[in-house]
Amino acid sequence: MKFRNFLMVLAVLVIAACNPMEQLGTAEEKIEAFQARYNDGDAGVLYRMTGEDFRTATTREQMDGLVALFSGRLGRIESSERTGFNSQFKNGLNITTITMETQFEQGAGTEIFVFHGTGEDMELVGWTVNSPRLMLSPEEMRMLSEVDPRERPDPPERRVVPERSGE
How confident is the model over 31-58, as pLDDT tens digits?
Answer: 999 999 999 999 999 999 999 999 999 9
Please tell me whether residue 17 adopts helix, strand or coil conformation: helix
Residue 146 CA to residue 7 CA, distance in Å, equals 66
CA atoms within 13 A on the CB side of 124: 24
What pLDDT does 7 receive? 44
Fill in the DSSP letter of residue 118. Answer: S
Domain ranges for the chain: 14-144
What pLDDT does 32 receive? 97
Q: Give every residue of the chain whose pLDDT is below 70, as ranges.
A: 1-20, 144, 147-167
Check the CA dihedral 60-66-70-71 and report its sign.
positive
Query: What number does CATH give the domain 14-144?
Result: 3.10.450.590
What pLDDT does 11 receive? 44
What pLDDT does 2 receive? 63
What pLDDT does 120 receive? 83
